[in-house]
Structure 1
Amino acid sequence: MYIAEKKKKENIAEYILYLFQIEDLIRSQKFSEDNIRKNIVNQYPVEDLEKEKILHWYLNFAEMMKREHIEESGHMQFVTNQMNDLFEFHTLIVKSNKYPEYHKTYMDIQSILVEIASKMGDQAINEIQVCFSFLYGVVLLKLQKKEISEDTYNVSKQVSSLLGKISLLYNKNQEEELDIY
Protein backbone atom coordinates (compact mmCIF):
# COMPACT_ATOMS: atom_id res chain seq x y z
CA MET A 1 0.00 0.00 0.00
CA TYR A 2 2.60 2.54 1.10
CA ILE A 3 5.19 1.21 -1.30
CA ALA A 4 2.71 1.40 -4.19
CA GLU A 5 1.84 5.01 -3.39
CA LYS A 6 5.52 5.98 -3.19
CA LYS A 7 6.43 4.18 -6.42
CA LYS A 8 3.51 5.73 -8.30
CA LYS A 9 4.76 9.21 -7.43
CA GLU A 10 8.42 8.51 -8.09
CA ASN A 11 8.68 6.02 -10.96
CA ILE A 12 5.72 4.81 -13.00
CA ALA A 13 7.62 1.80 -14.38
CA GLU A 14 8.58 0.55 -10.92
CA TYR A 15 4.98 1.11 -9.84
CA ILE A 16 3.63 -1.05 -12.66
CA LEU A 17 6.15 -3.83 -11.98
CA TYR A 18 5.26 -3.65 -8.29
CA LEU A 19 1.57 -4.09 -9.14
CA PHE A 20 2.45 -7.17 -11.22
CA GLN A 21 4.10 -8.56 -8.08
CA ILE A 22 1.08 -7.75 -5.91
CA GLU A 23 -1.23 -9.54 -8.36
CA ASP A 24 0.97 -12.65 -8.23
CA LEU A 25 1.37 -12.40 -4.46
CA ILE A 26 -2.41 -12.40 -4.00
CA ARG A 27 -2.73 -15.34 -6.40
CA SER A 28 -0.11 -17.23 -4.40
CA GLN A 29 -2.27 -16.76 -1.30
CA LYS A 30 -5.31 -18.19 -3.12
CA PHE A 31 -7.21 -14.94 -2.42
CA SER A 32 -7.65 -16.12 1.18
CA GLU A 33 -8.04 -13.40 3.80
CA ASP A 34 -6.40 -15.64 6.40
CA ASN A 35 -3.42 -16.37 4.15
CA ILE A 36 -3.04 -12.72 3.19
CA ARG A 37 -3.17 -11.68 6.84
CA LYS A 38 -0.78 -14.38 8.06
CA ASN A 39 1.74 -14.46 5.21
CA ILE A 40 1.76 -10.85 4.03
CA VAL A 41 0.21 -8.33 6.41
CA ASN A 42 1.58 -9.75 9.65
CA GLN A 43 5.10 -9.38 8.22
CA TYR A 44 4.77 -5.58 8.29
CA PRO A 45 6.44 -4.08 11.38
CA VAL A 46 3.56 -1.71 12.16
CA GLU A 47 0.82 -1.33 14.77
CA ASP A 48 -2.36 -3.41 14.53
CA LEU A 49 -4.45 -0.49 13.27
CA GLU A 50 -2.02 -0.01 10.36
CA LYS A 51 -2.07 -3.76 9.68
CA GLU A 52 -5.85 -3.57 9.32
CA LYS A 53 -5.51 -0.77 6.77
CA ILE A 54 -2.93 -2.81 4.86
CA LEU A 55 -5.13 -5.91 4.99
CA HIS A 56 -8.07 -3.90 3.70
CA TRP A 57 -5.89 -2.65 0.79
CA TYR A 58 -4.84 -6.19 -0.18
CA LEU A 59 -8.40 -7.50 0.13
CA ASN A 60 -9.73 -4.68 -2.08
CA PHE A 61 -7.03 -5.50 -4.59
CA ALA A 62 -8.01 -9.20 -4.45
CA GLU A 63 -11.68 -8.34 -4.89
CA MET A 64 -10.94 -6.23 -7.97
CA MET A 65 -8.95 -9.11 -9.43
CA LYS A 66 -11.88 -11.48 -8.87
CA ARG A 67 -14.35 -9.05 -10.43
CA GLU A 68 -12.11 -8.80 -13.49
CA HIS A 69 -11.71 -12.59 -13.64
CA ILE A 70 -7.94 -12.57 -13.52
CA GLU A 71 -7.53 -15.07 -10.70
CA GLU A 72 -5.18 -17.23 -12.77
CA SER A 73 -3.34 -14.71 -14.94
CA GLY A 74 -3.52 -11.29 -16.49
CA HIS A 75 -3.48 -7.77 -15.14
CA MET A 76 -6.15 -5.57 -13.70
CA GLN A 77 -7.65 -3.01 -16.03
CA PHE A 78 -6.19 -0.06 -14.15
CA VAL A 79 -2.71 -1.61 -14.48
CA THR A 80 -3.27 -2.12 -18.20
CA ASN A 81 -4.50 1.47 -18.44
CA GLN A 82 -1.30 2.69 -16.79
CA MET A 83 0.76 0.79 -19.36
CA ASN A 84 -1.39 2.14 -22.20
CA ASP A 85 -0.97 5.70 -20.92
CA LEU A 86 2.77 5.18 -20.79
CA PHE A 87 2.71 3.73 -24.32
CA GLU A 88 0.80 6.76 -25.65
CA PHE A 89 3.33 9.04 -23.99
CA HIS A 90 6.19 6.92 -25.37
CA THR A 91 4.72 7.27 -28.87
CA LEU A 92 4.57 11.07 -28.53
CA ILE A 93 8.16 11.23 -27.28
CA VAL A 94 9.44 8.99 -30.09
CA LYS A 95 7.71 11.14 -32.71
CA SER A 96 9.06 14.31 -31.12
CA ASN A 97 12.49 15.57 -32.07
CA LYS A 98 12.97 17.15 -28.64
CA TYR A 99 14.25 14.08 -26.78
CA PRO A 100 17.07 12.61 -28.87
CA GLU A 101 18.57 10.56 -26.02
CA TYR A 102 15.29 8.72 -25.48
CA HIS A 103 14.83 8.31 -29.22
CA LYS A 104 18.30 6.76 -29.55
CA THR A 105 17.70 4.40 -26.62
CA TYR A 106 14.44 3.30 -28.23
CA MET A 107 15.94 2.86 -31.70
CA ASP A 108 18.78 0.77 -30.23
CA ILE A 109 16.28 -1.69 -28.77
CA GLN A 110 13.37 -1.55 -31.22
CA SER A 111 14.34 -4.66 -33.20
CA ILE A 112 14.81 -6.62 -29.95
CA LEU A 113 11.32 -5.56 -28.83
CA VAL A 114 9.88 -6.78 -32.13
CA GLU A 115 11.60 -10.14 -31.61
CA ILE A 116 10.32 -10.44 -28.03
CA ALA A 117 6.81 -9.46 -29.16
CA SER A 118 6.81 -12.15 -31.84
CA LYS A 119 7.62 -14.75 -29.16
CA MET A 120 4.81 -13.42 -26.96
CA GLY A 121 2.19 -13.80 -29.69
CA ASP A 122 -1.24 -12.44 -28.76
CA GLN A 123 0.02 -11.20 -25.39
CA ALA A 124 2.11 -8.50 -27.09
CA ILE A 125 -0.27 -5.54 -27.16
CA ASN A 126 2.26 -2.73 -27.53
CA GLU A 127 5.98 -2.14 -27.06
CA ILE A 128 5.67 -0.83 -23.53
CA GLN A 129 3.67 -3.89 -22.43
CA VAL A 130 6.31 -6.06 -24.11
CA CYS A 131 8.96 -4.29 -22.02
CA PHE A 132 7.05 -4.87 -18.79
CA SER A 133 6.29 -8.51 -19.57
CA PHE A 134 9.90 -9.19 -20.45
CA LEU A 135 11.31 -7.48 -17.36
CA TYR A 136 8.80 -9.17 -15.07
CA GLY A 137 9.76 -12.52 -16.57
CA VAL A 138 13.39 -11.77 -15.70
CA VAL A 139 12.35 -10.78 -12.16
CA LEU A 140 10.52 -14.09 -11.78
CA LEU A 141 13.55 -16.03 -13.02
CA LYS A 142 15.72 -14.25 -10.43
CA LEU A 143 13.21 -14.99 -7.66
CA GLN A 144 13.22 -18.65 -8.68
CA LYS A 145 17.03 -18.55 -8.66
CA LYS A 146 17.12 -19.74 -12.26
CA GLU A 147 20.03 -19.00 -14.52
CA ILE A 148 19.70 -15.95 -16.73
CA SER A 149 21.73 -15.98 -19.94
CA GLU A 150 24.12 -13.16 -20.67
CA ASP A 151 21.99 -12.14 -23.68
CA THR A 152 18.83 -11.98 -21.56
CA TYR A 153 20.68 -10.03 -18.89
CA ASN A 154 21.98 -7.53 -21.47
CA VAL A 155 18.53 -7.11 -23.01
CA SER A 156 17.04 -6.59 -19.55
CA LYS A 157 19.52 -3.76 -18.95
CA GLN A 158 18.47 -2.11 -22.24
CA VAL A 159 14.77 -2.55 -21.49
CA SER A 160 15.29 -1.18 -17.97
CA SER A 161 17.11 1.81 -19.40
CA LEU A 162 14.27 2.54 -21.82
CA LEU A 163 11.61 2.22 -19.10
CA GLY A 164 13.71 4.30 -16.72
CA LYS A 165 14.04 7.11 -19.23
CA ILE A 166 10.37 7.11 -20.22
CA SER A 167 9.41 7.05 -16.53
CA LEU A 168 11.52 10.12 -15.81
CA LEU A 169 9.96 11.97 -18.74
CA TYR A 170 6.46 10.77 -17.80
CA ASN A 171 6.82 11.90 -14.19
CA LYS A 172 8.28 15.23 -15.30
CA ASN A 173 5.33 15.64 -17.66
CA GLN A 174 2.95 14.95 -14.76
CA GLU A 175 4.58 17.77 -12.78
CA GLU A 176 4.84 20.24 -15.64
CA GLU A 177 3.65 19.63 -19.16
CA LEU A 178 6.67 18.93 -21.35
CA ASP A 179 7.14 20.60 -24.69
CA ILE A 180 6.71 17.54 -26.92
CA TYR A 181 5.70 19.16 -30.18
Structure 2
Amino acid sequence: MYIASAKRKENIAEYLLYMWQIEDIIRANNLDIDKIKSNIIDKFDLNDDQRKELTEWYESLIDMMRRENVETSGHLQLNKNTLLMLNDLHHALLKDPKFDVYASEFYKTLPYIVELRSRQGESKLDEIETCFAALYGTLMLKLQGKGISVDTQKAIAQITKFISLLSKYHKLDQEDKLWDNQ
Protein backbone atom coordinates (compact mmCIF):
# COMPACT_ATOMS: atom_id res chain seq x y z
CA MET A 1 0.00 0.00 0.00
CA TYR A 2 2.75 2.44 0.93
CA ILE A 3 4.86 1.35 -2.03
CA ALA A 4 1.84 1.42 -4.36
CA SER A 5 0.91 4.93 -3.28
CA ALA A 6 4.43 6.24 -3.87
CA LYS A 7 4.74 4.50 -7.23
CA ARG A 8 1.35 5.81 -8.40
CA LYS A 9 2.53 9.40 -7.83
CA GLU A 10 6.00 8.98 -9.32
CA ASN A 11 5.76 6.40 -12.10
CA ILE A 12 2.44 5.00 -13.29
CA ALA A 13 4.12 2.15 -15.18
CA GLU A 14 5.94 0.93 -12.10
CA TYR A 15 2.70 1.28 -10.14
CA LEU A 16 0.73 -0.86 -12.58
CA LEU A 17 3.40 -3.57 -12.74
CA TYR A 18 3.59 -3.53 -8.93
CA MET A 19 -0.18 -3.89 -8.63
CA TRP A 20 -0.18 -6.84 -11.06
CA GLN A 21 2.48 -8.40 -8.86
CA ILE A 22 0.33 -7.77 -5.76
CA GLU A 23 -2.58 -9.54 -7.48
CA ASP A 24 -0.32 -12.54 -8.11
CA ILE A 25 1.02 -12.46 -4.53
CA ILE A 26 -2.54 -12.54 -3.21
CA ARG A 27 -3.31 -15.48 -5.51
CA ALA A 28 -0.14 -17.29 -4.42
CA ASN A 29 -1.42 -16.97 -0.85
CA ASN A 30 -4.83 -18.36 -1.87
CA LEU A 31 -6.58 -15.07 -1.04
CA ASP A 32 -6.00 -15.93 2.63
CA ILE A 33 -5.31 -12.87 4.77
CA ASP A 34 -3.66 -14.97 7.49
CA LYS A 35 -1.12 -16.30 4.98
CA ILE A 36 -0.57 -12.78 3.65
CA LYS A 37 0.00 -11.53 7.19
CA SER A 38 2.61 -14.18 7.93
CA ASN A 39 4.27 -14.22 4.49
CA ILE A 40 4.22 -10.51 3.69
CA ILE A 41 2.91 -8.06 6.26
CA ASP A 42 4.88 -9.48 9.19
CA LYS A 43 8.10 -9.07 7.18
CA PHE A 44 7.79 -5.27 7.32
CA ASP A 45 8.93 -3.19 10.27
CA LEU A 46 5.59 -1.50 10.99
CA ASN A 47 3.92 0.00 13.99
CA ASP A 48 0.47 -1.30 15.00
CA ASP A 49 -1.43 1.36 13.06
CA GLN A 50 0.59 0.76 9.90
CA ARG A 51 0.17 -3.01 10.24
CA LYS A 52 -3.60 -2.58 10.64
CA GLU A 53 -3.74 -0.23 7.64
CA LEU A 54 -1.73 -2.59 5.43
CA THR A 55 -3.85 -5.58 6.52
CA GLU A 56 -7.02 -3.67 5.66
CA TRP A 57 -5.57 -2.75 2.26
CA TYR A 58 -4.85 -6.41 1.47
CA GLU A 59 -8.29 -7.41 2.77
CA SER A 60 -9.94 -4.86 0.48
CA LEU A 61 -7.97 -6.15 -2.51
CA ILE A 62 -8.95 -9.73 -1.65
CA ASP A 63 -12.58 -8.66 -1.42
CA MET A 64 -12.38 -6.86 -4.78
CA MET A 65 -10.72 -9.89 -6.40
CA ARG A 66 -13.55 -12.11 -5.19
CA ARG A 67 -16.31 -9.70 -6.23
CA GLU A 68 -14.72 -9.16 -9.65
CA ASN A 69 -14.05 -12.88 -10.19
CA VAL A 70 -10.31 -12.48 -10.70
CA GLU A 71 -9.27 -14.96 -8.03
CA THR A 72 -7.28 -17.10 -10.46
CA SER A 73 -6.49 -14.74 -13.34
CA GLY A 74 -7.21 -11.33 -14.76
CA HIS A 75 -6.87 -7.90 -13.26
CA LEU A 76 -8.83 -5.80 -10.83
CA GLN A 77 -11.02 -3.08 -12.29
CA LEU A 78 -8.86 -0.42 -10.62
CA ASN A 79 -5.88 -1.74 -12.61
CA LYS A 80 -7.94 -1.97 -15.79
CA ASN A 81 -8.96 1.65 -15.24
CA THR A 82 -5.30 2.65 -15.00
CA LEU A 83 -4.67 0.90 -18.32
CA LEU A 84 -7.68 2.64 -19.89
CA MET A 85 -6.43 6.01 -18.66
CA LEU A 86 -2.97 5.32 -20.12
CA ASN A 87 -4.50 4.12 -23.37
CA ASP A 88 -6.58 7.32 -23.63
CA LEU A 89 -3.47 9.41 -23.00
CA HIS A 90 -1.57 7.34 -25.57
CA HIS A 91 -4.16 8.07 -28.27
CA ALA A 92 -4.32 11.77 -27.36
CA LEU A 93 -0.53 12.03 -27.63
CA LEU A 94 -0.51 10.28 -31.00
CA LYS A 95 -3.13 12.70 -32.36
CA ASP A 96 -1.23 15.81 -31.27
CA PRO A 97 1.58 16.79 -33.68
CA LYS A 98 3.42 18.49 -30.81
CA PHE A 99 4.25 15.03 -29.48
CA ASP A 100 6.16 13.79 -32.51
CA VAL A 101 8.90 12.30 -30.29
CA TYR A 102 6.26 10.18 -28.57
CA ALA A 103 4.79 9.08 -31.90
CA SER A 104 8.27 8.20 -33.13
CA GLU A 105 8.92 6.00 -30.07
CA PHE A 106 5.55 4.34 -30.53
CA TYR A 107 6.24 3.51 -34.17
CA LYS A 108 9.65 2.10 -33.21
CA THR A 109 7.84 -0.11 -30.67
CA LEU A 110 4.94 -1.13 -32.90
CA PRO A 111 6.76 -3.99 -34.72
CA TYR A 112 7.48 -5.61 -31.35
CA ILE A 113 3.84 -5.19 -30.33
CA VAL A 114 2.71 -6.82 -33.57
CA GLU A 115 5.16 -9.69 -33.02
CA LEU A 116 3.95 -10.22 -29.45
CA ARG A 117 0.34 -10.25 -30.60
CA SER A 118 1.08 -12.75 -33.36
CA ARG A 119 2.64 -15.09 -30.79
CA GLN A 120 -0.47 -14.82 -28.61
CA GLY A 121 -2.86 -15.66 -31.44
CA GLU A 122 -6.18 -13.86 -31.20
CA SER A 123 -5.05 -11.24 -28.71
CA LYS A 124 -7.65 -8.73 -27.58
CA LEU A 125 -5.07 -6.61 -25.78
CA ASP A 126 -4.56 -3.06 -26.98
CA GLU A 127 -1.06 -1.78 -27.68
CA ILE A 128 -0.46 -0.40 -24.19
CA GLU A 129 -1.65 -3.55 -22.39
CA THR A 130 0.45 -5.67 -24.76
CA CYS A 131 3.50 -3.63 -23.72
CA PHE A 132 2.70 -4.05 -20.03
CA ALA A 133 2.08 -7.78 -20.45
CA ALA A 134 5.51 -8.10 -22.09
CA LEU A 135 7.20 -6.11 -19.33
CA TYR A 136 5.46 -8.11 -16.62
CA GLY A 137 6.21 -11.43 -18.30
CA THR A 138 9.88 -10.51 -18.54
CA LEU A 139 9.91 -9.45 -14.90
CA MET A 140 8.44 -12.82 -13.90
CA LEU A 141 11.05 -14.68 -16.00
CA LYS A 142 13.84 -12.73 -14.31
CA LEU A 143 12.41 -13.42 -10.85
CA GLN A 144 12.33 -17.12 -11.72
CA GLY A 145 15.96 -16.98 -12.86
CA LYS A 146 15.06 -17.88 -16.43
CA GLY A 147 17.04 -16.64 -19.39
CA ILE A 148 15.81 -14.08 -21.85
CA SER A 149 16.84 -14.24 -25.49
CA VAL A 150 18.76 -11.41 -27.12
CA ASP A 151 15.79 -10.66 -29.39
CA THR A 152 13.47 -10.46 -26.39
CA GLN A 153 15.94 -8.21 -24.56
CA LYS A 154 16.00 -5.89 -27.58
CA ALA A 155 12.19 -5.80 -27.72
CA ILE A 156 11.88 -5.19 -23.98
CA ALA A 157 14.45 -2.38 -24.14
CA GLN A 158 12.37 -0.57 -26.78
CA ILE A 159 9.08 -1.25 -24.98
CA THR A 160 10.62 0.04 -21.75
CA LYS A 161 11.79 3.23 -23.48
CA PHE A 162 8.32 3.79 -24.94
CA ILE A 163 6.40 3.05 -21.73
CA SER A 164 8.83 5.25 -19.77
CA LEU A 165 7.98 8.14 -22.07
CA LEU A 166 4.25 7.47 -21.65
CA SER A 167 4.76 7.43 -17.86
CA LYS A 168 6.64 10.72 -18.01
CA TYR A 169 3.80 12.31 -19.97
CA HIS A 170 1.25 10.84 -17.56
CA LYS A 171 3.04 12.45 -14.62
CA LEU A 172 3.13 15.80 -16.42
CA ASP A 173 -0.56 15.42 -17.25
CA GLN A 174 -1.38 14.70 -13.60
CA GLU A 175 0.50 17.86 -12.63
CA ASP A 176 -1.38 19.86 -15.32
CA LYS A 177 1.93 20.55 -17.06
CA LEU A 178 1.56 18.46 -20.21
CA TRP A 179 -0.66 20.26 -22.67
CA ASP A 180 0.26 23.87 -21.90
CA ASN A 181 4.04 23.46 -22.10
CA GLN A 182 4.31 21.78 -25.46
Alignment length, in residue pairs?
A: 181
Aligned to 2:156: 156
Aligned to 1:143: 143
Q: What TM-score comes out, normalization by structure 2 length?
A: 0.94
Aligned to 2:130: 130
Residue deviations 1:18-43, cap 9 Å, x none?
10000000000001111011001001
Q: Percent identity?
A: 37
Structure 1 outlier segments of 4+, above 4 Å: none
Q: CA deviation at 1:123?
A: 4.4
Aligned to 1:94: 94
Q: What TM-score comes out, normalization by structure 1 length?
A: 0.95
Q: Which runs of 5+ in 2 are unaligned?
A: none
Q: Which amino acid aligns with 2:36?
A: I
Aligned to 2:16: 16
Measured on the aligned residues, the alpha-carbon RMSD in Å equals 1.5
Aligned to 1:78: 78
Partners of 1:74 and 1:123 in 2: CA distance: 14
Q: CA deviation at 1:152?
A: 0.8
* Residues 124 and 130 in structure 1, CA contact (< 8 A), matched pair in contact too: no
Residue deviations 1:147-170, cap 9 Å, x none?
111111111111111110001011
Aligned to 1:65: 65
Residue deviations 1:89-111, cap 9 Å, x none?
10111121112221111111112
Aligned to 1:111: 111
Partners of 2:17 and 2:57 in 1: CA distance: 18
Q: Which runs of 5+ in 1 are unaligned?
A: none
